Amino acid sequence: MVLDDLKPALADLDRKTSQAHSLGLAAYKEQRLDRTRASLRPVLWEHAGQIALGVLIALAVGPFWWNHRAELGLLVSGLVLHLYAVLMIALGSRVIVLVRTLQLDAPVVQIQKALASLRRSYVMTGFVVGMPWWLLWIPLISVVFGLDPIAEVSQPWLVINLVIGVAGILGTLWFFRHLWTAPVDSERRRGAEESVAGKSFKSARAFLEEIARFERE
């Protein structure tokens, strides 16, 4: 009889314990997700700055190449910088959209996959925006100082720096080819991506792993 009386009380206690655990998990998850969002804010600021820089470059070089349409070297230099500025704006906007549309209310495993995809996009954007500077400084100098690169092509300083720039591009391509041929979920690739991507993605991944561990316990 006593056992029969205890069964409802034990069932009620078990239900309350389960509810308390669920509430604790929800609160812990929300706290960690807030910190995940905060850790990705520098990525937004960085690419907002990239877009702003791209706009400034486009506004500066647009009138330049238009006013030098009769001078092939200066025209090409201005157009190259203008196209690069548009690329900066487009890629910066893409990363911002990816961060803003990251579904943090999804299951943790799904968020982790989306974060890994976002990290790869971030690294690729940095690669595409950064690699051209091995040679892009030449049209930049051309625009800033009004030097026609076609007229200067025989100058030793330009030839030497062209060789260095091409070698730098080939080395960069080799590094990233070595990186991207590794499996997507391999430790080597993830470590390389995180070393390039920086602290934001490493912190976000750590917060998500904490949630996953708490859910398993």
Residue-wise pLDDT tens digits, 55-113: 999 999 999 999 999 888 899 999 999 999 999 999 999 999 999 988 877 777 888 88
For residue 1, is it within any domain?
no
pTM above 0.85, yes or no: no
For residue 9, is it within any domain?
no
Most confident of the ranges 6-10, 69-73, 193-197, 211-215: 69-73
Q: What amino acid occupies position 97? A: V
Predicted confidence at residue 1, as pLDDT, reads 44
For residue 208, is it within any domain?
yes
Q: Residue 103 gets which letter from DSSP?
A: -
For 129-145, what is the mean pLDDT? Answer: 91
For residue 155, is it within any domain?
yes
pLDDT over 90, % of the chain: 31
For residue 203, is it within any domain?
yes
Q: What is the mean pLDDT of the chain?
A: 80
For residue 49, is it within any domain?
yes
Better pLDDT: 24 or 130:
130
Number of domains in the chain: 1
For 205-215, what is the mean pLDDT? Answer: 71
Show the domain range for 164: 17-216
pLDDT over 70, % of the chain: 72
For residue 33, is it within any domain?
yes
Predicted confidence at residue 49, as pLDDT, reads 96
Query: DSSP string spanning 108-135?
Result: HHHHHHHHHHHHHHHHHHHHHHHTTHHH
For residue 6, is it within any domain?
no
Residue tagged 């690329």 (tokens): 87
Q: How many alpha carbons lie under 13 Å from residue 160 in its C-beta half-sphere?
A: 3
Burial track 36-60 (b if 16+ CB lie within 10 A, e otherwise): beebbeebeebbeebbeebeebbee
